[in-house]
Each structure stands twice: as C-alpha cells, then as structure tokens.
Structure 1
Amino acid sequence: MPLRLSQADLLAALDSEATRLAREANRVLPSDPVPSCPQWSVGDLVRHIGGVHRWATRIVTDGLSSNVEDDREFFAAPDDGSLLPWFVEGSSALIRALQAAPDDLQAFVFLKNAPPPALFWARRQAHETTIHRVDAQSARLGRMPSTAEAAIPTPLAVDGLDELLTGFVPRRSSRLRTDEPFRTVIAATDAPAAWTVSVSADPPVVTEGADPAAQSHVTGTAAALYLGLWNRGDDVAENGTVDLLGHWRDQVRVSWS
C-alpha cells in the first residue's frame, strides 16, 4: 500500500521545499530561463507559486465552499527587488493557515478521491511547491536536475505519486486516452508502492496494486517516478508491449482545474 504522509509531515515538507525554492531562486536572476518550464522565467515561476500559495490560503482561511471567482489579486507580485520576500511571506502565511485549520475544515477541493480538506490542501501545496522547487533548481543548473540532485525523500515521492495517479489522472478532463485499451503497472523499486493504470477511450481508471496481466510496467525509484510522471525527468524504465510513457508525454499536462 502507498505510504501516505500525515498533516504534520506534509507541512514539514511544504516548509522545507518553500525554503529550498527561495534559496534556489536567490542564486539566479529573475530574468533567467527555467529549462523545465520553457515558457517561464524565474520571476514568472516565483510569481506563480507565490500566487498559488495565497490562493490556497484564502480557501483554507475563509473555508470557501467553491473556488474564488477572480484570483488575479493573489498573483499581483511586486516588480522590484522584493519578489522573494513576497514569496516567503506567502508561503509562511499558508503554513500558518494550515496549522490553524481544524481537522474537520469544510472547504473547496478539486481532485478525485480527495482526502479531507485540511489534509488535501497541505498535500496539494507540499507537492506543488516541491515540483516548482525542482523547476527553480533547473534554472540554477541550466538543465533538468537528476533524481539524485533533486533529492526528494522517498515517502514524499510515494505520497505525491499517489496524489497524481489517483487524484489527477482519473479526472474526466484527463487527455490520457487510447482507442486500443491497455493496462500499465507503475511500481516503485524502493518502496512497497504500485498502481495499475487502465487506459482506454474513457477516463483512465487507477487502482492500487500491480495487475499481473498488465501489458507494460514502468519502474524506478519513487523519486524518479515522481519526477518522470510530472514530466521533469527520465530516470525510469518501461518494459512491455505498449508505450505508456509515450502516451503520457504527449497527453498528460497536469493543471489544477
């Protein structure tokens, strides 16, 4: 069974990754390109994640039952040299809001099989921040970081894989489709975690565990799979008669909506 993190673990990861992101961004120029997100500069990246943190904070703090109608205010970052302090202020406010949120918080969530809202938002923002920290790291390196360089802890990676595969991938908006149905097992080599992804002309169906009759297997360390399935790395292997990774690279572009 996948290793799911507690609220405290997720908040610790969010805090750590926000700190690492700020550190990476401080080592480059706001105008520098982000290799893992070619359409963005570092400044664009920091404005995006800082705005996402403020958006999530509003939902959690106000217990909103639906998404905010106009989120432009959250992304109104300063144009001067205070961009990074603005980011740190937003991430700190998000952590405080999640720490103060009651376990029975009632608030808007947007993924299938979502955990309770307080846990959902801690989880979602921990992984949002982790992936964008890797993006900031790519700007410093001038290339995609290796799995070892990204240094994502195995439990965090397993939790993120579970969110991606059971939350994002099965949504009706998913473009992961094929006219000839197939099943692929995605399995970590360093943790007891595996999922079977059934792809067809309908939205994907994801189940925990490895189906022995699957047509292909995608394997790697949990961190390598985490990066690879977020389209941030290639340290994974695929064996079988179908090419899930080919379909994934062409069709899976995760967004929140």
Structure 2
Amino acid sequence: MSLERKLEVYKVCQKHNILIVEDDPYFHLQLPNEDGTPPPPVTSFLKLDTDGRVLRIDSFSKMLMPGSRCSILTANKIFIDNILLYHDLSVHTASGPSQLVLYSLLNQWTSHSLEDGTDKTGFTAWLTALQKHYQKRRDILITAFEENVPRDLCSWNKPTTGMFLWLEINLEKFPNVKASEGMSDSQWCVNLEDLIFDSYLKNCVALAKGHWFMIDQSKLKVGFRATYAFADVDLFVVAAERVGTALKEVHLKLYGDS
C-alpha cells in the first residue's frame, strides 16, 4: 500500500477503534533499484501509530533461517504482556534450538558501526547481501520467462520486494468454452486455473494457484505464483520452458490451432 492509503486505513481504524495486525514478513526483503542502490523505504503502520493500536509481526524464517519458526512481535506493552500470558498457556515457547542459534548469531552480529554509519559485519549487512541475492535470482527468472513463456497467453510482474513473481493469464486468449453448458465466467476461471495447474504438474513444474490466495473467489482472474527463492538458478530456464509448454498445451487442447 502507498503511504497515502495507509494513512487512510489508519484514520478509519482510529474512528472505529480497530486494532491493526501488520503481518509483514517481506519488509526486509525490499529489492535494490536497477542501479544497485537501496530501494525507497516502505513506511510501516508502526511508524504511523500514535495510539498504540498496531501490532507488527516480522519473521526470521524469511530474512534469516527458513523453518526457524521464530518471529518478532512489536507492540505496546499492554498487548505484549497479554500475548505472553496466552503464549505461556498455548505453545509455551518457540523452538529452543532456533532461539539458541538466533541468540548466538545476533550477539556476534552486534552492530559494529563505522564512523560513516555503515554496518559491514552485522544484521544490516546481512540484509543488504540478501536483498542483492534475491534481486539477482529474480532477474534470472524474469529473463527466462521473457525467452520461453508466450507473452500473448500471459504476463508477469517484476517484484520490488519478497521472493515471488505473479503470472497473470490473459483471459482474452482463454474464453469460456463452457458458457453454453451453463458455466459462469467466475466458475470458468477456477476451472481454467485447474486445467493449467494440472498441465504444469504433467510437465514437472510447480506453481501455486492464484485462487489459493484470493479472498473473493468470484474474481475474473486466473494466475499463478512462482518463487525464485528455492530452486537452483540453473533450473530456472528449464522451469520457464515447461511453463511455456504447459500453457501452449492447454490452449491447443481448448481451441485447436486458432
């Protein structure tokens, strides 16, 4: 959300006394600009909070150790104290080994800021290196898509944060062939997504269905989420080729050579 939008949301929450839980695990994975300079900082709801109504959640799993099952909660003391009581009566504690590793690592990483204010050995330096790492992987995957995925059948974004790319299917190229059977356009979108997903699996490539993330299941939208965090970069081209093949196969099956 833009800063203006966040301010609007915050005002509504003030008016109706609503708490904001800001679950933002990719905040520290903002990717550098094209010239390698740091991205413009995103303003957290926490920074806008004047009432103590924001509870912010960050995750070490995304920015340090996948699978660590350790997160950070930032909120006013009243919320923290009550959440700790609930925590003690439910899960009791986060992973012990993960906490020990984090404690040891962060103690070693205690910021050794230089006179120019830079941090060349600590947590900030790690995040900077991680952002550049994901930027490189993102660019490799996008290049592979540009060279192997048919642009007339779909489009994709260029993420500025996180580790996922959104692939949007061009519905003009996949019109509802079951409308005469009474299938609505929204039902067709779900059906088409299933067909393409099955074709992906048949071609041995896995993307997440867009409808898994949609609150409104009736949206006339078909898409998939791809990640550039996991696979070996040498496989990105192979994966992109299989995505392209799968889309062409579905289109040929539904519409022939048209």
Q: TM-score, normalised by structure 2?
A: 0.26
* Greater relative contact order, per chain length (Cα 8 Å cut-off, separation 6+): 1
TM-score scaled to structure 1, two decimals? 0.26
Q: Max radius of gyration: which structure? A: 2
